[in-house]
Structure 1
Amino acid sequence: MSVAPKASASSWPTPPEGGWTADDLDRLPNLPPHTELIDGSLVFVSPQTVFHMRAVDFFNWQLQSLAPEEFEVIREFTIDIDRQNRPEPDVVVVHADVVEDPGQTRFPAESVVLAIEVVSEDSVSRDRETKPLKYARAKIPHYWRVENEKGRAVVHVFELEPTTGTYTSTGILRERMKVDAPFPMDLDLTQIKTRRDGSR
């Protein structure tokens, strides 16, 4: 007589009633790097493309070199929106006075002046719909969405409209990105390539 093998215990954390909270991200053991909390659910990041990594590197480095002293530019760092939402923008610009110590794991949403998301295949709906809504509700003044258009970067630029509390598009930029907010910059988007020769 054969004996059916015992089912192995799941290694995935079981959410509590009401879902996870922002504080749980710092307490749960063995979470994959860059785990986000969206509406009380854990969101795990898929392996990223070369385009995604180069776009994140580009904006992180460029904004660090151009940002005035009152701002800090950080890549892949979570922000506290509310008890059930702690997303991790690909690049974030915050007021420098909230960067407190090397052990810090998150920033308050009210300190954020710009959130940048580089769209991946698995993050399209989050980056186009879910996150902009939450960032706007948190009153983050600027949101940029970076997309891969045939191996080249296209940046959708949004600014918070104070009367409605929603984002309004201020431009869709290719090749060159010249903006005045949150601080002046003139960026050559053609430097973001899928391969170093510019081909896909």
Structure 2
Amino acid sequence: MTATTDRPRDVLANWPHPPDGGWKADDLDLLPQDGPDGELDLFKHVELIDGTLILRSPQRRFHERVVQKLAYALRQQAPESLAVATRMDIKIGKRQRTCPDIVVIDTAADSHNATSYPPEAVHLVVEVVSPESEYRDREVKPRIYADAGIKHFWLVEEEEGKPVILSYVLDEVTHFYRADATHHGRLTAKSPFPVEVDFADLLR
């Protein structure tokens, strides 16, 4: 009998078609940043939703500014037991690996070598809605995060050039999110930790 050895899965062997068995969450760790034909940063920001690879389009300045400033505000006020990360994956299941704009996680799970976090370590997910991802951010991702048991979800919308934050809390009975509050101008929340954010600071 010939001995067999485990070989790394070649996820781009038949690009642009999915690898044998379809895309899996662990495959994203095997992707290079650049595409197979030299496309720069093609796979720099990739998500896996329902087994489908989602390549992110270039972000707008509003999106980048809100993400960075909101993450900073959360870091400044988070307790030592919690950490805040941007553009880090949550490996939710075999065919679900999202890359939220902001996550609040257990500090104990925040390893320097981490490429993703398990959903049980995540306390809050924040998505800033972009024109190309409106349906995913408003409809698809909330379902995925709720199914994973993540207790808090914030959705940041843009209204007349200003941010509006809609906060949601997981309903333990329905296992889906219920609306908690809509924040204009200022956010004051008690969970997942006490935090206040002046929206004027998000656009400076």
Q: Distance in 2 between matches of 1:77 and 1:148?
A: 23
Q: Name the counterpart of 2:99.
A: 88
For residue 26 of structure 1, give the secondary structure of its aligned residue in structure 2: helix
Count of paired positions: 184
For residue 92 of structure 1, give the secondary structure of its aligned residue in structure 2: strand
Name the Cα RMSD after superposition. 1.6
Q: Distance in 2 between matches of 1:99 and 1:181?
A: 20
Q: CA deviation at 1:164?
A: 1.1
Find 2:147's aligned residue among 137, 142, 166.
Answer: 137
Q: Distance in 2 between matches of 1:70 and 1:158?
A: 22
Find 1:109's aligned residue among 110, 119, 130.
Answer: 119
Are 1:34 and 2:45 counterparts? yes
Q: 1:12 to 1:55 in 2, by over 3 A?
A: farther
Q: CA deviation at 1:19?
A: 2.1
- Percent identical among aligned pairs is 42
For residue 146 of structure 2, give the secondary structure of its aligned residue in structure 1: helix
Q: CA deviation at 1:28?
A: 2.4
- Corresponding letter in the other structure for 1:112: V
Q: Name the counterpart of 1:54.
A: 65
Q: Name the counterpart of 1:120.
A: 130
Q: Distance in 2 between matches of 1:146 and 1:192?
A: 12
Instruction: Give 5+ residue unaligned stretches, structure 2.
Output: 1-12, 35-41
For residue 96 of structure 2, give the secondary structure of its aligned residue in structure 1: coil
TM-score (norm 2): 0.86
Q: Name the counterpart of 1:16.
A: 19
Q: Name the counterpart of 2:183.
A: 173
- Give runs of ≥4 in structure 1 deviating > 4 Å: none
TM-score (norm 1): 0.88
Instruction: Give 5+ residue unaligned stretches, structure 1.
Output: 1-9
- Corresponding letter in the other structure for 1:26: D
